[in-house]
Amino acid sequence: MAEGRTRAAWAEIDLDALAHNVAVLAHSAAPAALCAVVKADAYGHGAVQVARTALASGASGLAVAIADEGLELREHGIEAPVLVLSEVTPDAAEVLVRARLTATVATQRGMEALAAAARHVGTRARVHVKVDTGMHRLGVAPVEAPALVQAAAAEPALRVEAVWTHLAVADGTTADDQAFTALQLRRFDEVVAALAERPRLLHVANTAGAIAWPAARYDMVRCGIGMYGCAPAPGMPGDAAAVVASLRPVLSLKARVSAVRELDAGERPSYGRRRALPERGVVATVPIGYADGVPRRLFDTGSPVLVGGRRRPLAGTVTMDQLMVDCGPGATVGPGDEVVLIGRQGEEEIGAGDWARLLGTISYEVLCGIGPRLPRVYRSAGDR
């Protein structure tokens, strides 16, 4: 069972689709550079493999959420620029500096700790100063930003490479959302105008900003969800919709049937006995469950899976390690047959966005929720 090592369930990552998406986004944002966001294990796709493919496909650098994620990339021989998107605690500053990661600075305290760590190591740390233009999660206030940038620039142990911010509703389509994004851009421009010297890089846009807000591209864009083939939000307007339509899903979630049984109408499989089979038919057991990122609520929403190229309903509640599928009367399904939870089989396809709509969440959460005990299997044209 090569796909899942000792277990017949796995997440399949299409590296050709990933390379295509990076190229599409890089072309859309040009001449701005593209920074590939590989935080959270590349949204569940596997940070190391994704980083290598993204860099080979047009990304100029990488971004992670925490220093440990950057350390993993360095430990696997990835030497490209890696931006840590959050300000690290003072006790982690030296680890970041020694790994040659690029630091986000948002406070005087953080700047001073980073400078002290760089002096101790005997190097200059690369710094991107983050401004809070309205997200209110992390960043220096606009009125205080020029002074922080100047203080960092005056510190011999630091090299200020960039000033940046993050857009809160670049994927929004309401008039209020549009107005707020425009306000964030004005606030950012005012900060830049007040700086004694413009840094080498200005960056603002996430995927939504990169494809929907040309004015937000500046010198670099930070693309995450689009790189993985998902829309930042449904109903992206105008040219952004065309870019989204050209993206290809990267991750498929698959397993193989482990057991089958024929049950009478009225039988109620799984915990809670919550669904009576409408007619006598074949029920397939599949070795994947909520511990792997298949939410129990999928049963409540009526989300199907694909078996034999057809949509089939769950026969009962998703359990920790297994689920059961109602394949219907006379189904010829047997042990070893492929089941697709996310992805394409025949002419049918179920996307991470489909799960998100049913579950009342976003595709980011669906992808990041796919558990680490599922092997990631990487495919490319050469494999096929």
Q: pLDDT by residue (tens digit) across 209-228? A: 999 999 999 999 999 999 99
So what's the architecture of 251-350 in CATH? Beta Barrel (2.40)
CB neighbours of residue 237 within 10 Å: 12
Looking at residue 239, what is its pLDDT?
87
Three-class SS state of 271? helix
Q: What is the pLDDT of residue 1?
A: 44
Q: Can you tell me whether residue 319 is helix, strand or coil?
A: coil
| Residue appearing with tokens 């421009």 | 189
Beta bridge partner(s), residue 342:
253
Cα dihedral 204, 209, 213, 217 sign:
positive
- Longest alpha-carbon distance in the chain: 78
pLDDT score for 384 = 47
C-alpha pair distances (Å), 39 with each of 61, 82, 155, 253: 13, 11, 29, 20
Sorting pLDDT into bands at 50, 70 and 90, what band is 381? Answer: confident
- What would the mean pLDDT of 144-154 be, rounded to a whole number? 98
Tokens of 75: 């430990």
List the single range of 4-18, 114-128, 284-298 with lowest mean pLDDT. 4-18
Angle in degrees, CA 127, 43, 257, rounded to 5: 165
The answer to whether residue 123 scores a pLDDT higher than 60 is: yes
Residue 239, token pair as written in the block: 């040219």
Token pair 């990267």 is found at 250
Does residue 111 have a pLDDT over 90? yes
Q: Is the pLDDT of residue 383 over 80?
A: no
Residue 310 has pLDDT above 80, yes or no: yes
Cα 364 to Cα 151: distance, rounded to the nearest angstrom: 36
Catalytic positions are 39, 271
Mean pLDDT of the region 119-142: 98
pLDDT per position as a tens digit, 187-217: 999 999 999 999 999 999 999 999 999 999 9
Query: Mean pLDDT across the stretch 97-115?
Result: 98
pLDDT for 328: 95
Alpha-carbon distance values, 251 to 19, 109, 201, 236 (Å): 13, 40, 32, 21
- What is the rounded CA–CA span in Å between residue 152 and residue 343? 47
Per the CB < 8 A criterion, the answer to whether 154 and 124 are in contact is no
Share of the chain above pLDDT 90, in %: 95
Using an 8 Å Cβ cutoff, are 331 and 309 in contact?
Answer: no
pLDDT of residue 4: 52
pTM of the model: 0.95
Tens digits of residue pLDDT in 352-364:
999 999 999 999 9
- pLDDT bracket for residue 55 (50, 70, 90): very high
pLDDT at 11 over 80: yes
pLDDT value of residue 382: 66
- Please report, for the chain, the start and end positions of each structural domain, with discontinuous segments joined by +: 16-235, 251-350
pLDDT for the residue numbered 62: 98
Sign of torsion, CA 193 199 200 206?
Answer: negative
In whole angstroms, what is the distance from residue 263 CA to residue 369 CA? Answer: 32
CB 364 within 8 A of CB 207: no
List, in sequence order, every residue forming a beta bridge with 371; answer none if it has no partner. none
Structure tokens of 89?
A: 């605690």
CA nearest 118: which of 88, 78, 148, 159? 159
CATH number of 16-235: 3.20.20.10
The mean pLDDT of 301-321, rounded to a whole number, is 97
First to last CA, the chain: 17
Looking at residue 135, what is its pLDDT?
96
pLDDT at 163 over 70: yes
Spell out the alpha helix ranges (H) of the chain: 15-29, 39-44, 47-56, 67-75, 93-98, 108-121, 145-154, 175-194, 207-212, 238-245, 297-301, 352-359, 363-368
CA 129 – CA 117 distance, rounded (Å): 17
158 pLDDT above the threshold of 80:
yes
Mean pLDDT rounded to a whole number for the chain: 96
- Mean pLDDT value of segment 136-165: 98
